């Protein structure tokens, strides 16, 4: 009985749902704890990390990263650059004063940023890894048209939601 249940769980896209839900939940928790005043610096850090991780010229010369596959290098660079850029952007108050989302707007920002991050990571994966992802996740985050929508959606969100200036 347990083996049958385990087989059914593995056949279902549970792992994909778990990591997508983890990203969304993590972003919602971030937005309600630290992120209220950090939504604009976070977006700038994510965009900076995406651009640098896909277009950095000398990543292959970093000793640890040179041993990894190209998609692994990109994902590691994405997270490292996003973290460093976020800390720098947040600490120097470059984006202050900025419009600050509150209440339900934080959830919208968290969901859009989660989709943005997942679309960015989906673009960095190798074709073999994309094939292992469930069809639903591929349709929502990895295919070209939905990925483009996720990558443009934060800009549209900034133009629609106004927030408040604190």
Mean pLDDT of 25-54: 82
Structure confidence by residue, pLDDT tens digits, 43-87 = 888 888 888 887 776 666 677 766 777 777 788 888 888 899 888
Task: Report the pLDDT value the prediction gives residue 54, as an integer from 0 to 100.
Answer: 79
The candidate with the shortest Cα–Cα distance to 29, out of 84, 95, 109, is 109
Mean pLDDT of 1-7: 58
pLDDT tier, 3 (very low <50, low <70, confident <90, very high otherwise): low
* 4 vs 71 pLDDT, higher one: 71
Domain boundaries, given as residue ranges, for the chain? 19-165
Task: Report the pLDDT value the prediction gives residue 125, as an integer from 0 to 100.
Answer: 81
Task: Report the pLDDT value the prediction gives residue 100, as an integer from 0 to 100.
Answer: 66
Cβ contact 49:81 at 8 Å: yes
Find which of 7-16, 21-30, 35-44 is predicted with most confidence, using mean pLDDT: 21-30
Classify the phi-psi angles of 164: left when phi > 0, otherwise alpha if psi is within -120 to 50, otherwise beta: beta
Cβ contact 108:157 at 8 Å: yes
* 85 vs 160 pLDDT, higher one: 85
CA distances from 93 to 79, 135, 149, 163 (A): 21, 41, 29, 18
């Amino acid at each position: 009985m347990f083996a049958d249940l385990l087989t059914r769980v593995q056949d279902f896209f549970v792992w994909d749902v778990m990591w997508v839900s983890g990203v969304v939940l993590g972003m919602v928790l971030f937005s309600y704890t630290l992120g209220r005043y950090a939504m604009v610096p976070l977006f700038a850090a994510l965009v900076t990390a995406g651009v640098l991780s896909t277009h950095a010229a000398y990543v292959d010369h970093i000793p640890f990263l040179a041993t990894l596959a190209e998609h692994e290098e990109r994902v590691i660079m994405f997270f490292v650059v996003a973290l460093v850029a976020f800390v720098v952007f947040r600490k120097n108050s470059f984006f202050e004063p900025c419009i600050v989302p509150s209440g339900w707007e934080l959830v919208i920002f968290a969901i859009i940023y989660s989709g943005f991050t997942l679309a960015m990571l989906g673009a960095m994966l190798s074709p073999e890894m994309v094939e292992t992802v469930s069809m639903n996740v591929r349709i929502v985050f990895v295919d070209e048209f939905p990925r483009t929508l996720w990558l443009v959606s934060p800009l549209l969100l900034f133009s629609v939601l106004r927030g408040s200036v604190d």
